[in-house]
Every structure is written in structure tokens, then in C-alpha cells.
Chain A
Amino acid sequence: MKVESIFERLPKKKITRKGFLKLCGIGAGSLMLNNALFKFAFGKEEISTGRTVKKIKGLHDLVVAKGDDPYLMTMKAMEAIGGMDKFVKKNSVVLIKPNIGWDRTPEQAANTNPQVVGALVDMCFNSGAKRVNVFDNPCNDPKRCYKNSGIEKIAKEKGANVYSPDDWNVVKARFDYQSPMEGWPVFRDALECDTFINVPVLKHHRLAGLTLSMKNLMGVCSGNRGLIHFDMGIKLAHLTDFIKPDLAVIDAYRVLKKNGPTGGNLEDVVDMKTLIVGTDPVLCDSYACVLMGVEPLSVSYVDYAVKHDLGKGDYAEIAKADILTIKV
């Protein structure tokens, strides 16, 4: 093709002032329309003041189950605290939030034991739940975490929805009081559920001391989560107050004692064969601290929560609390 022929094909119209202004107008108009369309489609921002919650009390403050089968332990512990029917109503939506943070196998104890999650899903459906969601916002590649932790397989078999949360489906947190977590994006599904069951795994964490139920709530946050680590105590306590989980099930079947939260060495894993169930997240956390031989108030978020009356947590409170220990 000759170069001249290309030029010949170009329109030979002259550009008038009127035509030029018209063109500018059309251009600007279409850009504005485009912008408006994009804002309509992708720019919706919602604000939430947290979950509205019906404070359900269990038969005991804490139930601690010991045994060899995590599935049975979960079943029995839930029965002892009053049964799942107490927490899950018919046709309700349940969110089970395990710790699936790392691309590790169940034996390495960096993620929640899949049997515990499986038992909870089973019980929720037996109590008539319409829908059970299971998700976490993993630190490694979600697909690999879900697969290697074994949770995706077992939860899907039992009929739960296992998915990776979407960064665009979030709401901004709003607090009644001054909070460093103000405006933090939280996944919508964490708030739009009737029952929130928090299923952390007990393990070592260098900064926090221990990873417990309150720390596990970081998994419902989107955004640059590394920043939560600064002033972690206040932020996690406020986040707990924002989410208000109904039930905490702390899996301490296999416990990572060192090099947490990722782990990887099987020598660092200890079999404690314990499961802690309770309705007060702070009490659960401080009991788990005692179990690990850590002073509860040395864990920054427990300390902050106790000081600001978000829950019970020091040694005296634990001694007073109604704790039932069962053997399975």
C-alpha cells in the first residue's frame, strides 16, 4: 500500500470554529457520561455501624473439650454449651470464619483444623440454617490456601459456600466513638449474617503473643492490613466490638508453639487436643492464654479489651467464670 494513498483517503473537510466547539462538547459530554456510568457501577460506598446482635448466653461461660477426635469434640462441646439451635435459627445465614491464612497442611497447624469446621457446618445445617458461608482473607494465594488447608474440601462436601471474598464488596466501618479503625473496609458478608462463628486456631504469633479469636477477625478486613499491626490492641478490640461475634470456637487440637503464625516445622507443633467454646471472645482468648502459659494481660488486645470492659479476661475473672470441662 502506498503512503500517498492513505492520505488520499482522509476526509478533506475543513475544520470550522463551530465544528471544533461541537466536537469538544461531544467529547466532554461523553466523558462525563462515562464517568457517571463508572461511578454508578463501581463506585458505591456503603457505611456500616457493625452487626446488630442479640446477646445469646450459653449454659456455661466456657466449655473446654478434650479428646482425640476434633469432630466429636466440637459436637460435644457445642451440645454442652446449649446446642447449636440456641445460636442458629431456622432459615438464617451463618458465617463460619476459620483461619485459612496460610498455604500449609493441617498437620502444620497454621490453619484451623478442617474437622472442626466440618462439624460446625454440619451442626448449622442440622439447626436449619439456610446458608453457611466459609471464608477468610488469606495472606498467601487464596486458591492454594483453601486447597492445602483441607477446609475447602470438607466444607464443600458438607454443603457450605466456600469462596474468596471480593475486595469490591466491602463496607466502611463507622464507630460511635473515636477509633483508629474508622473507615476501614470490612467485607460485607461478615456483617450481613445472622450468626457469626469465629473459629481461630491457637498458635504462636511474635507480635501479638498468640493468635486468638480476636486476632482471627483480621480476616474479615480488606485493605492494607499490615497497618493494623500498629496499635494492634486498640484496633483489634474495636474490630471485635464492631463485628460482635456470637460464638468463638478456639481450635487447640494441634498447636504451633514457635515460629508462628506461618510455622512449617512439624517439631514446633504440639498436640494439645483441646477445644474451647464460649460466647465471650475475650474470656475465650484469656483462657487460651492461660492454657498456653501466657499471662492474658500481656497480650495487647486482651489487655485493651479488659481495660475497656469489652469482656472478662484477667486471672480473677477466669477463676470466677463458669467453666465446664468435658472429656470426649
Chain B
Amino acid sequence: MKKLILFRRLSQISFLMLFIYLLWLTPHAAAFFKIDPLVSVFSLFSLTMLAMTFIIGRFFCGWVCPLGTIIDACGIKAKNRDMGLFRNIKYFILGLIVVFAFIGIQIVWIFDPLVITARFISLNFIPSFTLAMDKAFIFLIKGLNFYTPLYDFYRMLKLSILGTKIFYFPHSFITLSFFVIICGLALITKRFWCRILCPLGAIYALTARFCLLSRHIDKCMHCMRCSINCRMSAIKEDSGYRKEECILCMDCIYDCPDLATKFSWPIKNTAKRSGSEGSISRKDFLFLIASSFLFLGFKGREGSAKKKLIRPPGVKNEHEFLNKCIRCGNCMKICPTNGLQPAIFESGLAGIWAPHLVPEIGYCEYNCNLCGQVCPAGAIPNLSLAQKKEQKLGSAIIDKNICLPLSQNRECIVCEEHCPVASKAIKTYEETIAGKKIRKPYVDISLCVGCGICQNKCPTRPERAIKVLP
């Protein structure tokens, strides 16, 4: 009866499911980031999490973290090795994040485990899952001529959870390989990422170092089973343990042949305190942070950051946007037209995976302000619908060499038809050519909001005759 381990697994699986569920129905997806001390530094929820960690220990890593769950699953068959002092790398990563935060560059998006998981789920898991579901349904319905009852069910799913559009992110293999590498590291040793690299783990480790709940052994036989099996290599060979490394996975309770291991609240004379040997010293950590001020000299080129891509509605300052955006992929998941896509190197190294609008894939829906609502970091401002409609994302220009009415005198003006601005940002004038009246479009830049629907619906191929430029 490994009751506690059963509970842990249940908790892990249900939190993973909850995470996927919240991301799938995106409106409340920001909830998970609210409890993340690395993302929302001083929010009430993250402080509560830190306080709870101070009482219990790193329960988040062992019982809640969705990435931890996936890494656990990947490392089931893996050997367990003691990685020694490598475990301190995570503190340096945390230090690096803090240092970069001081010089005004946000790199949390590379390392935060919740962001990594959310990005994977939004950009890889959900699109491929819906695609597989869709293809399976099409195979059943069209291939096997299974029309009526199943077809109705499929249509109902399409208008509810499956979505009328199968999302597609052209460069999502990069996020996929990033995620696969992180999980694949678990093949080297169990929980490689959590032990050695995770900066969120580092924050919790620093908090849990003096936590109240602690592990006790009544009569240790020094059989070393717990020490060898510990997935965080938190147990020392002298049966003491590194409190900051323990994620309360409860394995050692059942590894102990006498069942002598217990977790309990401190009673008067506690057992041996865990030493700080082998762990990063406070002095070093503070030194690292203090040295960050050396970098302050590099700051101060904010104004030079030019907008090269069409950013989501309401984003004014490119530099500020890239610093706030944690690349969680929520906006790209919720964008109803699939138009928001992760950038690669289009806006430089600092802009990797930040969302930008690709009108040829999807336009910005005029009556929609969802991306601002779901952004957990406030990078995309949460605007009311009326405010959002006034945001200028860019402006459209017409290529006269491609445009059908302008270059070939053919009837078209699809762009004018679709323009969502109430008084039409694309206007037309009439010209009579060879006795035939042709309407020709032009753009009124002062009215254009740059939503990109004109580019999206323009029928010319392969180049669109009307384009939106930031």
C-alpha cells in the first residue's frame, strides 16, 4: 500500500489535466501563471505559494508542476545518478535571470517550466491533437460513408471544443524540439531538468531551505536504498538530507525497509539540521545579484528598438513588449483566426517566439479583444472592445502591379468588401475603360487599423496584391 505515492500521482495527473483543460478553454489560462513566483513576482498568489513552500517544502515541484509530471513520466525507466554539484547550476540560472532583469532584458521565457509546458501544449499538443481528431472523423465520415449521427456529433464538436479551424503554426517544430530536449534529459537521470536547471525550482529551493516540515528517520540501518533511489538526490549518504532539494515525492518512505522514515512537524529537539555543504552559499548568490549592477551601463538603447513585425493590438512599444512577453502562447492559442504566430528571428534574438500577426494565415478579428484578456504578463494590454477597435496594428498598401482592378481592369474589390471599419478604410473610385465601369480600390491610411483581413482575403496568388505593413 503506497498510499502517499498514489496520492502524489493522482495530484500530478489531475494538475496536468487541469493545466491542459485551462489552456484549451483559454480564458482562464492565466491562472497558472499567477501562482508562478518567477513570472508574477509580487502577486498575492505567488507570495502565498512561497509561504506554503516555507511551511511544507517544495510540494509544487513534486505534486503540482505539469512539466515535473511529464519529466517524471519520461524518466520512469531512467537510471538514477548523483549529479553532484551540478545541482547548483539552477541557482546560477536564477541569478542570470535576475541579472538580466536588472539590465532590462527578460529571459524568464527560456527557463520557466510553466511557460515551457504552456507553450508546448498550446503550439504543439492541442493543434496536433485536434488535427488527429479531425482527420479521424473525416476518415470515418467520408471514407466509411458514416454520415448522419456521427456527422452531427462532429459538427457539434467543431462549433464547441474542436474549433472550426485546425490551428497551424509553421515553425512549431522548434518549440517541440525544445520541449522534447528538456524532457529527454530525464533519460540521463531522473528529473534532470528539475535538479539541475529549473530556476523556478531554485526559487522554491531557496524558500524551502528552512521549511518547517522535515524528514526524520527513527533508526537508520544505513542500507542506502533511499539515497540511491531519491529522484532529486536529496538524501546524503550519512542519512541526513538536503532540505532544499526534497520535493516531497514520498518515495523514501516506502524505500525504507523498516518504514522508519517519516515526515513530521518540528518537535522540540529536532534531528540533525541539514548543512549547507554542497549547496550554494547565500554570499555567492547575493554577490551574483550585486554584480548585475555592472551591467547597468549597457542599458539605455530602448528607443532604438524598431517595430519590424505586426504586433498584437494595443502593443505600443516593441522593446517593452518583448520584455514583458513570456512567450507562453496563450494569445496564439486563443486568436480565433490563427493569425498570431510565434516569430523566429524576424525581430532578432530578443524576439524569439513572441507573437506577431501573419495576415496571410489569419487576420485580426475586428470585434475581438481576446489576446489582451488572456495575456498573463500584461504584454498585450487588456483593452475594452471599443478601445481595441481604435488600435492601429499597421496600415495596408496596395501593390498596383498585382491588384486585379488596377493592373488588369478586372472586377474585384474583395478588400473593400471585407474591410471591417464602419466607414471603410478602403475606398473605391470608378473608372470607365472601354465602355465598362471598373471600381478601383485605394487605402485611406487615416482610417486603416491594419487588421489584415484585406491581405487575408485578397484572391491573388501567390502574392497578395494588398499587404499590411507595421
Count the B residues whose beta carbon is within 8 Å of the partner chain — how many?
A: 43
Given contacts A259-B424, A264-B421, contact A226 B459 (CB under 8 A): yes
Q: Does A98 contact B (CB under 8 A)?
A: no
Residue numbers in A under 8 Å from B422 (CB-CB): 259, 262-265, 268
**Do the beta carbons of A141 and B365 come within 8 Å of each other?**
yes
Smallest Cβ-Cβ distance to B148: which chain A residue = A131
In the complex, A205→B417 CA distance in Å?
A: 7
Q: Does B75 contact A (CB under 8 A)?
A: no
Given contacts A163-B155, A206-B413, contact A139 B424 (CB under 8 A): no
**Do the beta carbons of A206 and B417 come within 8 Å of each other?**
yes
In the complex, A268→B152 CA distance in Å?
A: 38
Which of A19-27, A37-45, A173-181, A318-326 is the contact stretch? A37-45
Rounded to whole Å, the gap between the CB of A209 and the closest CB of chain B is 11
Count A/B pairs, Cβ under 8 Å. 114
**Do the beta carbons of A164 and B365 come within 8 Å of each other?**
no
In the complex, A225→B458 CA distance in Å?
A: 10
Q: Mark B396-439, 1 if CB is under 8 A from A, else 0.
A: 00000000100000111110111111111000100000000001
Which of B11-19, B89-97, B137-145, B299-307 is the contact stretch? B137-145
Point out the residue from B139, B152, B458, B459 that lies within 8 Å of A41, measured CB to CB: B139
Smallest Cβ-Cβ distance to A224: which chain B residue = B459
Smallest Cβ-Cβ distance to A138: which chain B residue = B164
Smallest Cβ-Cβ distance to B144: which chain A residue = A41
**Do the beta carbons of A163 and B159 come within 8 Å of each other?**
yes
**Do the beta carbons of A42 and B139 come within 8 Å of each other?**
yes
Q: Does B336 contact A (CB under 8 A)?
A: yes
Interface class of chain A by DSSP:
loop
Q: Does B289 contact A (CB under 8 A)?
A: no
Smallest Cβ-Cβ distance to B408: which chain A residue = A230
Smallest Cβ-Cβ distance to B189: which chain A residue = A1
Given contacts A103-B365, A224-B459, A259-B424, contact A142 B414 (CB under 8 A): no
Q: Does B319 contact A (CB under 8 A)?
A: no
Given contacts A161-B155, A207-B411, contact A148 B367 (CB under 8 A): yes
Q: Does A144 contact B (CB under 8 A)?
A: yes
Residue numbers in A under 8 Å from B459 (CB-CB): 224-227, 229
Smallest Cβ-Cβ distance to A266: which chain B residue = B422
**Do the beta carbons of A146 and B159 come within 8 Å of each other?**
yes
Point out the residue from A164, A168, A231, A259 that lies within 8 Å of B159, measured CB to CB: A164
Smallest Cβ-Cβ distance to B336: which chain A residue = A141
**Do the beta carbons of A230 and B367 come within 8 Å of each other?**
no
In the complex, A269→B137 CA distance in Å?
A: 43
Point out the residue from B159, B412, B461 that lies within 8 Å of A229, measured CB to CB: B412
Given contacts A148-B367, A164-B159, A205-B417, contact A229 B411 (CB under 8 A): yes
Residue numbers in A under 8 Å from B187 (CB-CB): 1
**Do the beta carbons of A206 and B439 come within 8 Å of each other?**
yes
Rounded to whole Å, the gap between the CB of B135 and the closest CB of chain A is 8
Rounded to whole Å, the gap between the CB of A57 and the closest CB of chain B is 32
**Do the beta carbons of B152 and A161 come within 8 Å of each other?**
yes
Q: Does A52 contact B (CB under 8 A)?
A: no
Rounded to whole Å, the gap between the CB of A164 and the closest CB of chain B is 5
**Do the beta carbons of A226 and B159 come within 8 Å of each other?**
no
Smallest Cβ-Cβ distance to B140: which chain A residue = A41
**Do the beta carbons of A143 and B423 come within 8 Å of each other?**
no
Rounded to whole Å, the gap between the CB of B124 and the closest CB of chain A is 22
**Do the beta carbons of B188 and A1 come within 8 Å of each other?**
yes
Given contacts A144-B367, A161-B152, A265-B423, contact A207 B337 (CB under 8 A): no
44-90 of chain A: CB within 8 A of chain B: 44
Q: Does B368 contact A (CB under 8 A)?
A: yes
Smallest Cβ-Cβ distance to A135: which chain B residue = B155
In the complex, A141→B418 CA distance in Å?
A: 12
**Do the beta carbons of B419 and A262 come within 8 Å of each other?**
yes
Residue numbers in B under 8 Å from A231 (CB-CB): 411
Residue numbers in A under 8 Å from B420 (CB-CB): 140, 262, 264
158-178 of chain A: CB within 8 A of chain B: 161-164, 166, 168-169
Q: Does B316 contact A (CB under 8 A)?
A: no
Residue numbers in A under 8 Å from B413 (CB-CB): 206-207, 229
Q: Does A311 contact B (CB under 8 A)?
A: no
In the complex, A264→B418 CA distance in Å?
A: 12
Q: Does A261 contact B (CB under 8 A)?
A: yes
Residue numbers in B under 8 Å from A144 (CB-CB): 336, 365, 367-368
Q: Does A232 contact B (CB under 8 A)?
A: yes
Residue numbers in B under 8 Å from A226 (CB-CB): 412, 414, 457-459
Residue numbers in A under 8 Å from B428 (CB-CB): 206
Residue numbers in A under 8 Å from B111 (CB-CB): none
Point out the residue from B155, B404, B423 that lies within 8 Å of A259, measured CB to CB: B423
Q: Mark B181-199, 1 if CB is under 8 A from A, else 0.
A: 0000001100000000000
Smallest Cβ-Cβ distance to A208: which chain B residue = B417
Residue numbers in A under 8 Å from B164 (CB-CB): 141-143, 164
Point out the residue from B155, B368, B461 that lies within 8 Å of A164, measured CB to CB: B155
In the complex, A231→B438 CA distance in Å?
A: 11
Q: Mark B338-370, 1 if CB is under 8 A from A, else 0.
A: 000000000000000000000000000111100
Point out the residue from A41, A139, A161 that lies within 8 Å of B138, measured CB to CB: A41
Q: Does B262 contact A (CB under 8 A)?
A: no
**Do the beta carbons of A139 and B457 come within 8 Å of each other?**
yes
Point out the residue from A42, A140, A152, A261 that lies within 8 Å of B417, measured CB to CB: A261
In the complex, A227→B458 CA distance in Å?
A: 9
**Do the beta carbons of A230 and B410 come within 8 Å of each other?**
yes
Taking Cβ atoms with an 8 Å cutoff, the residues of B that contact A are 135, 138-139, 141-143, 152, 155-156, 158-159, 163-165, 187-188, 336-337, 365-368, 404, 410-414, 416-424, 428, 439, 457-459, 461
Taking Cβ atoms with an 8 Å cutoff, the residues of A that contact B are 1, 40-42, 44, 103-104, 139-144, 146, 148, 152, 161-164, 166, 168-169, 205-207, 224-227, 229-232, 259, 261-265, 268
What are 20 A-to-B residue pairs whose CB atoms are below 8 Å?
A: A42-B138, A42-B142, A140-B367, A141-B365, A144-B365, A144-B368, A148-B367, A162-B159, A163-B158, A169-B141, A206-B417, A207-B411, A225-B459, A226-B412, A226-B457, A226-B459, A229-B413, A230-B412, A259-B423, A259-B424
| In the A-B complex, the 8 residue pairs with the closest CB atoms | A226-B459, A264-B422, A163-B155, A41-B143, A226-B414, A141-B336, A265-B422, A41-B139
